[in-house]
């Protein structure tokens, strides 16, 4: 089957089309390409190494089982992380009687983000990565997903919106709330960057 790709520069979408058409070797290549990024995402999402690895395996299995229905309407990364996000959210809903996620429909009118610079500085500071991971783990699931997809997986707003099955404006609101929460949680590091850099031997957080 010949498929016209909307993203001709995305070799993984082409590989997935080959998987859809019965090429299992192409799936082996996709697995090799995406295993580490996917495991990183699922582990950070659920906060547990072993469970995250299990969830990543589940996601690959879901992708393979749904191969015949695959249509390359987006970059493969966006498709894969949409499946992963939904699977992780469902896992959290199963493990908690009530999910802590935001109602994304209520976020469309969230004001413009005023904490982005501070949150970005914190997120990128190698000296406090342990604290950052702990703070990210405390975020409601949909905020956590949006932030990880943006900062660690490099997806754009539209791709994150596809992954979370919501609007771009809701994604921006989720990110805004996540950044505010991170800044509040990590305020001591922002107020005392020299103490952090002195302990770690790195540069101060600015």
Taking residue 205's Cβ as centre, other Cβ atoms within 10 Å add up to 21
> What is the CATH code for 11-95?
1.10.1740.10
Divide the 206 residues of the chain into consecutive groups of 10 and give the mean pLDDT of each group: 59 95 95 95 91 95 95 91 92 64 47 58 59 87 93 91 92 94 81 41 33
pLDDT score of 118: 60
* Domain ranges (residues) in the chain: 11-95, 107-200
Identical fold for domains 11-95 and 107-200, yes or no, is: no
Cα gap 145→120, rounded to integer Å = 16
List pLDDT tens digits, range 28-76: 999 999 999 999 999 999 888 999 999 999 999 999 999 999 998 888 9
CB 127 within 8 A of CB 205: yes
The count of C-alpha atoms lying within 13 angstroms of the C-alpha of 37, restricted to the half-sphere facing its C-beta, is 19
* Four-way CATH pick for 107-200: 2.40.50.140, 1.10.10.10, 3.40.50.2300, 3.40.50.10420: 1.10.10.10
Would the pTM count as exceeding 0.75? Answer: no
């Amino acid at each position: 089957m010949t498929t016209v790709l909307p993203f001709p520069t995305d070799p993984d979408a082409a590989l997935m089309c080959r998987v859809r058409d019965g090429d299992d070797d192409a799936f082996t290549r996709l697995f090799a390409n995406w295993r580490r990024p996917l495991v990183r995402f699922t582990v950070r999402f659920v906060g547990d190494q072993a469970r995250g690895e299990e969830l990543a395996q589940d996601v690959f299995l879901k992708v393979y089982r749904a191969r015949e229905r695959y249509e390359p309407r987006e970059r493969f990364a966006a498709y894969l992380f949409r499946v992963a996000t939904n699977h992780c959210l469902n896992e959290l809903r199963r493990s908690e009687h009530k999910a802590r996620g935001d109602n994304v429909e209520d976020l469309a009118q969230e004001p413009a983000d005023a904490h982005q610079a501070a949150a970005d500085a914190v997120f990128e500071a190698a000296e406090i990565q342990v604290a950052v991971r702990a703070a990210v783990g405390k975020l409601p699931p949909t905020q956590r997903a949006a932030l990880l997809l943006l900062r660690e997986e490099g997806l754009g707003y539209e791709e994150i919106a596809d992954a979370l099955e919501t609007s771009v404006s809701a994604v921006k609101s989720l990110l805004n709330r996540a950044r505010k929460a991170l800044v509040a949680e990590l305020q001591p590091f922002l107020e005392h960057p020299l103490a952090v850099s002195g302990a770690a031997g790195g540069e101060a957080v600015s």
